[in-house]
């Protein structure tokens, strides 16, 4: 061994079960990272291996510059996922992660011939309903983090500490720039797999009207679900959410032989 450090990659996994029959790829919300999904591996059980997406500029990849465009993310992420896949896979993305997850599913199918068995868009508007940039990039670091505090995404202490606020705001600015510059695809926009559109019932930013637009982005079956909770409902009741994901991921698979 030469002692060289191994560069962290875009996919993180924690003791994937050797009995897994499918893979679930999870993409986090803006400004956050992969490690929030670590407890889900145990909750998903022995039939599913969880792969969490780690974008640059956060957690294990904090030394790297955050990506600011969808193309940057997909150029790294899609080949890495294609090289890892040895089982059928589904995609779960939350908020911004759902937007990236939708484009990842398209890239995997169009460029690598590996469409997912299903895609869940959680707490996210449809690609053509993202709205105009809201000017968040003009805010100071502490103002930007204060918005996260108001949403319940981070502790209030982070906004009060300028150094901590800067560390949190850095990847968030990249993610906001990515979303601000995003344009929906002009050709072949439909996913040929089942799509689930999920939200928390108290999420004022993503309403029932918003998620009802997702079925138009699939040529297969589509379902709309509402869970108790706010924008971060998936953290409030992870057992329920992972149980629903188990059914979604394993449903299309043949029964055990």
For the record, the structure tokens of 55 come out as 């974008």
As a whole number of angstroms, the distance between CA 237 and CA 229 comes to 8
Question: Does residue 5 sit within a domain?
Answer: no
Question: Does residue 4 sit within a domain?
Answer: no
Judgement on whether residues 195 and 173 belong to the same structural domain of the protein: no
Question: Does residue 72 sit within a domain?
Answer: yes
- The tens digit of pLDDT for each residue in 138-157 reads 999 988 888 888 876 677 77
**Model pTM score:** 0.93
Judgement on whether residues 194 and 110 belong to the same structural domain of the protein: yes
Judgement on whether residues 173 and 246 belong to the same structural domain of the protein: no
- Domain boundaries, position 140: 131-181
Judgement on whether residues 170 and 51 belong to the same structural domain of the protein: no
Helices 96-112 and 70-84: crossing angle, nearest 10°?
60
Judgement on whether residues 58 and 117 belong to the same structural domain of the protein: yes
- The tens digit of pLDDT for each residue in 1-21 reads 444 455 789 999 999 999 999
Judgement on whether residues 46 and 125 belong to the same structural domain of the protein: yes
Domain count, the chain: 2
- For the residues 85-96, what does the mean pLDDT come to? 97
Q: Give me the CATH number covering residue 45.
A: 3.40.50.1820
């Amino acid at each position: 061994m030469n002692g060289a450090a191994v560069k962290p990659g875009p996919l993180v996994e924690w003791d994937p079960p050797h009995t897994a029959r499918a893979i679930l790829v999870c993409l986090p919300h803006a400004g956050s990272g992969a490690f929030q999904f670590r407890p889900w591996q145990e909750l998903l059980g022995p039939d599913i291996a969880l792969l969490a997406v780690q974008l640059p500029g956060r957690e294990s990849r904090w030394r790297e510059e955050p990506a600011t465009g969808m193309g940057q993310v997909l150029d790294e992420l899609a080949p890495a996922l294609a090289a890892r896949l040895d089982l059928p896979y589904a995609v779960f993305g939350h908020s911004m992660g759902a937007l990236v997850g939708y484009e990842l599913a398209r890239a995997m199918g169009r460029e690598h011939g590996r469409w997912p068995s299903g895609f869940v868009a959680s707490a996210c508007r449809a690609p053509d309903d993202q709205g105009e940039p809201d000017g968040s990039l003009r805010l100071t670091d502490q103002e930007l983090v204060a918005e996260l505090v108001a949403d319940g995404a981070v502790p209030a202490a982070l906004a009060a500490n300028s150094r901590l606020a800067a560390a949190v705001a850095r990847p968030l600015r990249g993610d906001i720039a990515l979303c601000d510059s995003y344009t929906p695809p002009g050709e072949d926009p439909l996913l040929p797999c089942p799509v689930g559109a999920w939200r928390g019932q108290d999420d004022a930013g993503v309403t029932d009207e918003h998620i009802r637009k997702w079925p138009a982005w699939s040529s297969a079956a589509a379902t709309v679900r509402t869970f108790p909770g706010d924008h971060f409902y998936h953290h409030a009741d992870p057992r329920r959410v992972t149980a629903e994901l188990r059914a979604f991921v394993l449903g299309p698979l043949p029964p055990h032989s």
